[in-house]
Amino acid sequence: MKTQIELAREGVISAQMQKVAEDEGFTGEVIRQRVADGHIVIPVCHSRPQQKVAGIGKGLRTKVNASIGTSSDIFNIELEVEKARMAEAEQADTLMELSTGGNLDEIRRAVLANCNLPIGNVPLYQAFAEAAKEFRNPNKLEVEYLFELIERQLADGISFMAIHCGINRFSIERLRKQGYRYGGLVSKGGTFMVSWMEYNDCENPLYEQFDRVCNLMKKYDAVLSLGNGIRAGAIHDSHDRAQMAEMVINCELAELGRDMGCQMMVEGPGHVPLDEIEGNIMLEKRMSGGAPYYVLGPLPADSGAGYDHITSAIGAASSARYGADLICYITPAEHLALPNVEDVREGVRATRLAARIGDIAKYPDRRDVEKRVALARRDTDWKEQFSLLMFPEKAEEIRKSRTPENTNTCTMCGDFCAMERGMSLFEKDISPEKTRCKKEGCSK
C-alpha cells in the first residue's frame, strides 16, 4: 500500500486528505499539494484504519499532543487507559504512549484498544527497557531486535514514532568538545542511545540504516518524527552546538525521508527562552524545507515546577504564533512526578488554550469566535457566551459557585458592572457593524 505522500504525488486525494480538508476549511486539492510537498503530514497506520484523522502542518490549526505512560515506579494499565480516555475527552489531537515500566506490549495494546486518537511512541524506550531486563545492561541492546521491535509496534497500530536518527558520532563530538551543559542530557531515548554508542564504539544504527527505518514506516504509512535526543534541558543550553548539530542532521534526514516517500516530521526543543523561539522555528522550517515541526513545550523558564503547564503554555503560544505545527503538552507534574488523570486534563487544557492564542495571531482571518464571545460578554448574554467558550463547564461551575444577586452581572463587579452601564451609550439590538454611538453630534 502507498503512503499519503506517495498518493499525493500521484494526484490522488485520499480519504484522510479529504477529511483534513473538511475539518480545516480547505479544498482537497490544497491539502493534497501540501502533503505532496511534505508540508503536511497525516498520522495513519494501515493496521489501525479506524482511528481519528488529524492533519499536522502548513496552514492548519496547531495541534496538541498528550503524553502518557508508566514508569519503573508506577505501572498500572487501567490508569494509563483512563489517562488516554481523558486526553481524548479533553480534545487532544494525538497521544503518545511512552511507558517504560510493566508489560510494555500489553500496555500499548490496551491504550490502542481504548483510544481513537492517532497514537505515537518512542521505540527506544521499550528497546532499552527490555535490554536492561534481559542483559542487566541496556547497552547490550541488539540492533536486529531494535528493528524487529519497531515493526512489532507499527503492526499493533502506532501511527507516528519519535525515532532518534539525528544522534550520530558528529553530534556527540560537538557535545564532547563543548565540554559542559547546565541541564545535561534530558531525553531518555537520546541519553540511552549516546550511552549505547559509546559503550559499543558504534555509529547509531538508526542513522546508519536510515533507509531501513523509512521503509518500515512506509510499510505502515506512519509518520517518522525525527526525535530531538540532544535537546536543551535548560534555557542556558538553548541552541548550543550539540543541539544545533542534531537539528541540522534531522533537517537533512527529513528531506531524505520525503524523497523516499515517507511522511516526515521534525521534533524540537525543549527549554528555550522566549526571545529565541521565533528563531528556532525559522531555522527548522528553512533547513528542513518546511517539514512540520513538533515542539516539546517548549519551556521558556526553568524555575516553574509545579506550574510548568503554565510555563510551557506561554512558550507554546509563542511557538504556534511563529509556525510550530504540533505541540506536546506539559502537565503540572512535569519535573516532579508521573502525571495522574487530573494532570492530563490540566495539561491538555492549558496547551489547547496556548495553541488557540498562537493561532489567533498566526491566522488573523480566523478570529470570528473571539468576536462572538466579546459581543456576548458585552451584551451580558451568558448562555451565548458559555456556548462559545473552550471550557464552558468550568466557566459555568465558577459562576454558579458565586451566584450574583443581579443575574445579568457577575460578583466581580455586581452593581458596578461596566458592561451594563457602558451599553447605555449604544443601541443594543443591532449588529456590531452598524452599532452607533448615541452621543450628540457623534458620527460613529
pLDDT for the residue numbered 438: 44
pLDDT for the residue numbered 431: 55
Domain identity same for 231 and 374 = no
At residue 413 the predicted structure's pLDDT band, cuts being 50, 70 and 90, is confident
Cα 36 off chain centre by: 22
339 has a pLDDT exceeding 80: yes
CA of 10: how far to CAs of 7, 37, 148, 260, in Å?
5, 12, 31, 14
Across the range 178-204, mean pLDDT stands at 95
pLDDT for the residue numbered 428: 52
All cell numbers assigned to 332: 503540572
Q: How many domains, the chain?
A: 2
At residue 401 the predicted structure's pLDDT band, cuts being 50, 70 and 90, is very high
DSSP 57: E
CA of 212: how far to CAs of 47, 144, 150, 158, 220, in Å?
19, 11, 11, 17, 13
User: Does residue 439 lie within any of the structural domains?
Assistant: no
pLDDT for the residue numbered 14: 98
Write down which residue in 344, 362, 380 finishes a domain: 362
What's the pLDDT tens digit per position in 129-149? 999 999 999 999 999 999 999
Across the range 221-238, mean pLDDT stands at 96
All cell numbers assigned to 145: 531486535
User: Does residue 371 lie within any of the structural domains?
Assistant: yes
Domain identity same for 308 and 430 = no
231 has a pLDDT exceeding 60: yes
Its domain, for residue 208, covers 38-362
Q: Distance between CA atoms of 25 and 381, rounded to whole angstroms?
A: 29
Distant-in-sequence, close-in-space partners of 293: CB < 8 Å, separation ≥ 6: 265, 266, 268, 281, 284, 285, 323, 324, 325, 326
At residue 78 the predicted structure's pLDDT band, cuts being 50, 70 and 90, is very high
Q: Distance between CA atoms of 196 and 147, rounded to whole angstroms?
A: 15
At residue 440 the predicted structure's pLDDT band, cuts being 50, 70 and 90, is very low
Domain identity same for 269 and 373 = no
Domain identity same for 392 and 349 = no
62 has a pLDDT exceeding 50: yes
Domain identity same for 388 and 256 = no
DSSP codes joined into one string, 425-438: GB-SSS-GGG--B-
Domain identity same for 219 and 277 = yes
What's the pLDDT tens digit per position in 248-281? 999 999 999 999 999 999 999 899 999 999 999 9
Helical residues (DSSP H) of 157-231, grouped into ranges:
169-178, 188-200, 205-208, 210-220
